[in-house]
Amino acid sequence: MKKIAVLGYGVVGSGVVELFYRNQKKIEANTGTKLEIGYILDLREFPDDSYQDRVVHDIQVILDDPEVGYVAESMGGVNPAFDFVRRCLEAGKSVATSNKQLVAEKGDILLQTAKAHHVNFFFEASVGGAIPIIRPLHTCLAANDISSIAGILNGTTNFILEKMFCDNMRFANALALAQKLGYAEKDPSADVDGGDACRKICILSSLVFGKHVYPDQVYTKGLRNVTLEDVQLAQRLGGAVKLIGAVKRLDDGRILPTVMPMIVMEDSLLSHVNGVFNAVMVWGDGVDKTMFYGRGAGKLPTASAVLGDLIDAVKQTDTDLSQSWEPAEADADFVAPIDAFSAPRCYRTSPCGSGVFARIAAETGVELQNAAEDGCMISCCDQKTAEAFKQKLGQEGVTILSRIPVLVD
């Protein structure tokens, strides 16, 4: 009999316990090991809970029990989660976590600690909830040279943008509805300012390109400045605004991770991902492109991913070296600045007519892909060319109200 310890008995932690006991026989048959939830670590008491007798308040109890071989961490944040997880790994206990902030900020250290002690640190649930994306990247797609990833990594912002697109709601009203329905927190900053998606693209970037990418290396821009008029213009030009987390390997070998609102054209599958669902598109030289889609959060979907990692950990006899990356300094030169970004652009302007757009596009050496009375879309260009286009519009007396890049699918 091996014991599982659950750190944090909130939404995800209680989901892990619930789903484990719902499918205990299947999990044991899958692993060939008798398993039990041995401990639940939390500061609180749960007098009416069926598993109150498993609740402990001191991590040392878990560390000292040699029967505990596996730990599910669902506390959230970095402190004290980092200390607890590191000590569990040092004690020879594999850990599965849903904690995206922990993995994004401390993943390199914890992966090295796991390797040093011949155990595993798994984190499938940290990106995309129930969507399998971490394991496919280092197993199913391992034969590919992956060049880029782009996805809708935050369900809250995707719900807000859907309401703006489909119901003509303004951002503030759509956010209020998301909060009312429980999709957004009272303080929605992590979602609408892009922090949640930033941590997830850090994890994906680190795994695919082999070096740790830190959140402060990722150009991050949230939704607060996206207006209903921006969404409506994108719709008229054949696209939808989405908050996109992306990373791309540039021609010089550097990578460029970003989080920002982008217009996704309607011929892309990503443009049709709505509500609180997530989707991740991966480009590889063998598969061309492939997409992973599903619920990106929620009690049981996230618990499903955590337990999937624990099942994998039980089956391992040593550290899985494929799910890893090297440590990197915060100023590592393999992460390019936003100045290296290149993409088509959509400009929303004061009304001026498509003729003005066409003439300025020709003068600046870009192709006018689409135009309306109050906005246009130009072909792929770098930051310098995009700025030149903007300046020439200004010289013509045209007011630039917004500029949103277009995802090249």
- Asked whether the beta carbons of 293 and 279 are under 8 A apart, the reply is yes
200 is an active site residue: yes
The DSSP code sequence of 215-261 is GGGSEE--STT--HHHHHHHHHTTEEEEEEEEEEE-TTS-EEEEEEE
HSE at residue 65, side-chain half, CA atoms within 13 A, is 19
Catalytic site residue from 200, 242, 248, 390: 200
**Beta strands at 68-73 and 2-7: parallel, antiparallel or unpaired:** parallel
Long-range (24+ apart) CB contacts under 8 A made by 82-86 are 82/106, 82/109, 82/110, 84/7, 84/41, 84/59, 85/7, 85/110, 85/121, 86/110, 86/113
- Asked whether the beta carbons of 204 and 211 are under 8 A apart, the reply is no
What is the spatial distance between Cα 212 and Cα 90, in angstroms, rounded to a whole number? Answer: 21
DSSP bridge partners of 68: 3
Catalytic residues: 200
